[in-house]
Amino acid sequence: MITVTGKPVCAGVAFGPVFVFSREESTIKRRHIESSEDEILRFENARKKAIEELDILYNKAIAEVGEANAMIFRIHQMMLDDLDYIESVRNIITDQLLNAETAVGQTCDSFVQLFRSMDDSYMRERSADVKDVSERLIQILSGKNKNAIVSDEPSIIIADDLAPSETVQFDKEKILAFVTEGGSTNSHTAILARMMNIPAMIGAEGSLRTDFDGKAAIVDGFTGTIYIEPDEKTIAKMTAKKREIEKQTALLEKLRGEKSVTKDGQRIELCANIGNVIDVASVLKNDAEGIGLFRSEFLYLESRNYPSEDVQFGVYKEVLSKMENKRVIIRTLDIGADKQANYFHLPREENPALGLRAIRFCLQHPDIFKTQLRALYRASVFGHLSIMFPMIVSEWEVLKVLEIIKEVKGELASEGISYAKNVELGCMIETPAAALISDILSKHLDFFSIGTNDLTQYTLAADRQNPDIDSFRNDRHIAILRLINTVTENAHKNGAWVGICGELAADVELTELFLAIGIDELSVIPSLILPLRKKIAETDVSAIKDRVLSKYLM
Ligand code: PEP
Ligand code: MG
């Protein structure tokens, strides 16, 4: 038996044969050409075909992993429309009279180098996307089809790394697990694996040996381990682990339709985070009590221009109607930092996470903000809507937002358009400043939702996108937990309620603490609703309160 370890990316246990994925990288034949016009036309036709292929992949990904995750193929399409990229290919063809394949290859190399030299880890990771897109173009130009998979029987896929387009092209029925040597936890491939709910691990150095192909293996996605040709003892251990997971999943089904209540009767609401209307199906399937965070910026990110008031109205109305009267918290546009769309023409910034993003952008562009608010209020009559605002730092920002909302409501009323009168308003607590003035903010608002992803990066001064500082980014840092406690105390004093919608909400080790603090709502990815409800039902808050408060806050 050979054991290889890496980083776990998606939990689960898989048994099956290994399929070693090797891509056929195109070897580019460098050729001098006679007519640059004909060659540019070949390039343009290939570009069009690549955009069409990406449309097909986008639609396949939507069906399998949801719109938010399918976005990567829209980003690839945008790369193919990038003027600098196109100009570079054209220049190489015209100035050096080289064939389109060579021009794309050279352009790809210089873009990859450029991305790799960037400080921003998100941008560095985009170099894989440039390669993926360029490889697609070269395959089309050279008349080869990009290999889809591959093996007839369901297999554990081992690869050096996987591009998102390769991941999504696999037939989901034929994949038991993903194991890659490279990759990062934040990579799109890792996200896709999680959304597909397939056991996966990355960073499994030494796992890619071609002679593993066809051998029996077991992947433990909990620990990030692959066992090649496992011995009897390991097979028995992993079989028991798999059975236990199946048993737990069956038990969870019993909690469907139940409220989320502790043993001693404390109620907490369990809601789901979504990025798009398609995700609502999984919210309902997993029995969430509402939507605690609808990241509305995905609507903007997947468009090629600002979505109109009517388009937004349509989406919000559909989500609210589908959720019937369950509460839906829609967060207003959180653009900027790692969420960029070309048509916003956001300035290049030294520190985008500390720059013109989220509410700051909206307050500087009241027209864009008002369009969204009008759409939200128009949709409010179709369900139970709450609205919240991202990246608040100061009281004046909240007062300004409330003033704009008053204007919007006044305009709608004068146009004879009805809107719900009971729309609750809240803000995200994502900055230490907001947490520390939550007593002041709570006087103006109905609720807070703590965004621990950003709250952690801003409190610990640790970029959430940078894998190199993983060991300095402790999501359970006492500073974060104390801030959560302070916010809850401040809110409750002023009659506001508090939820958590950052990733920390799903940390079952902290559920007892959140209950002891008196958090009113937790919002997590839909598949975690039932496991969390189970944890809550098993907790007796009065029995553990003093112990956990002193364990985590002192
Ligand atoms: C957060 O910051 O915790 C949050 C929920 O918002 P996002 O992850 O979209 O920045
Ligand atoms: Mg955030």
pLDDT for 126: 78
What is the three-class DSSP state of 150? coil
Q: Which ligand 1 atom lies nearest to the CA of residue 293?
A: 5
Could you read off the pLDDT of 437-490 as tens digits, one per residue? 999 999 999 999 999 999 999 999 998 878 788 888 899 999 999 999 999 999
Ligand (nearest to CA of 359): 2
Sheet of 225-228, strand order:
2-5, 225-228, 216-220, 13-20, 155-159, 175-180, 200-202, 7-10
Residue nearest atom 3 of ligand 1, based on CA coordinates: 451
Angle between helices 478-493 and 541-553 (to 10 degrees): 130
What is the three-class DSSP state of 157? strand
CA of 148 to the centre of ligand 1 (A): 34
pLDDT for 198: 86
502 ligand 1 Cβ < 6 A? yes
pLDDT over threshold 70, residue 25: no
199 ligand 1 Cβ < 6 A? no
pLDDT for 164: 65
With CA atoms as reference, report the closest residue to 405 among 428, 425, 427: 425
pLDDT for 239: 95
Mean pLDDT of 350-371: 95
* pTM of structure: 0.67
* Residue 67 pLDDT grade (very low, low, confident, very high; cuts 50, 70, 90): confident
Residue nearest atom 9 of ligand 1, based on CA coordinates: 295
pLDDT over threshold 60, residue 169: yes
55-59, 382-386, 530-534: range with lowest mean pLDDT: 55-59
pLDDT for 139: 86
CB 418: neighbour CB atoms within 10 A?
A: 11
pLDDT over threshold 70, residue 409: yes
Q: Which ligand 1 atom lies nearest to the CA of residue 453?
A: 3
501 ligand 1 Cβ < 6 A? yes
Higher pLDDT, 63 or 219: 219
Q: In testing the pocket of ligand 1, which one of 191, 271, 279, 295 has its CB within 8 Å of the most ligand atoms?
A: 295
pLDDT for 147: 46
Mean pLDDT of 88-117: 91
pLDDT for 195: 65
Could you read off the pLDDT of 310-325 as tens digits, one per residue? 999 999 999 999 999 9
Mean pLDDT of 266-279: 91
452 ligand 1 Cβ < 6 A? yes
Catalytic annotation present for 365: no
Query: Is 272 within 8 Å of 526 (Cβ atoms)?
Result: yes
135 ligand 1 Cβ < 6 A? no
The rounded distance, in Å, linking the Cα atoms of 425 and 497 is: 11
Higher pLDDT, 127 or 242: 242
Query: Is 59 within 8 Å of 157 (Cβ atoms)?
Result: no
Q: What are the residues whose beta carbon lies below 5 Å from ligand 2 (ion)?
A: 430, 451, 454
295 ligand 1 Cβ < 6 A? yes
pLDDT over threshold 70, residue 508: yes
CA of 524 to the centre of ligand 2 (A): 14
CB 24: neighbour CB atoms within 10 A?
A: 10
Q: Which ligand 1 atom lies nearest to the CA of residue 297?
A: 9
Q: Considering the chain, what percentage of its residues have pLDDT values greater than 70?
A: 95
Higher pLDDT, 274 or 384: 384
pLDDT for 307: 92
Q: In testing the pocket of ligand 1, which one of 388, 428, 463 has its CB within 8 Å of the most ligand atoms?
A: 428
Catalytic annotation present for 444: no
pLDDT for 50: 92
186 ligand 1 Cβ < 6 A? no
The rounded distance, in Å, linking the Cα atoms of 420 and 451 is: 26
CA of 298 to the centre of ligand 1 (A): 13
105 ligand 1 Cβ < 6 A? no
CA of 337 to the centre of ligand 2 (A): 10
Residue nearest atom 1 of ligand 1, based on CA coordinates: 451
Ligand (nearest to CA of 501): 1
CA of 221 to the centre of ligand 2 (A): 27
Query: In the chain, how long is the greatest CA-to-CA distance?
Result: 83
CA of 332 to the centre of ligand 2 (A): 12
137-151, 170-184, 516-530: range with lowest mean pLDDT: 137-151
- Which candidate in 76, 108, 188, 271 is catalytic? 188
Residue nearest atom 6 of ligand 1, based on CA coordinates: 451
pLDDT for 281: 86
